[in-house]
Structure 1
Amino acid sequence: MYDKGPHIVLRRDGVCIVAKTPDGDMPQIEYWGRDFAFDTAEDALRQLDMRAI
């Protein structure tokens, strides 16, 4: 469901944004919503894939 490649996780006030960060291009939002308290972007994408949010 989510693209492979480098990602970042941004968190604030219970909201989480997971963004793909391709080289030489603007970041692309992969997930935006509730913060499930994932440790890394890779963990977040793996868990979100399994949840089918």
Structure 2
Amino acid sequence: MKCCFCNAEIIGYGNSIRPLIRGRNAKCCDNCNRNIIIPYRFLEILSERENRNNNN
């Protein structure tokens, strides 16, 4: 299986690319998970918190 971002060969099961890309049965490698997906998830959480705080 190839990483949907960098096309590197995935070792093991691969990583979920959600929530960045929904509805695709694709996976990413550990490097792209660490450098793309996880930071995106943190930004999404921070954005949700900021929106919640602004609405209160």
* Alignment TM-score > 0.5, same fold: no
Q: TM-score, normalised by structure 1?
A: 0.27
Whose radius of gyration is greater, 1 or 2? 2
- Larger proportion of strand: 1
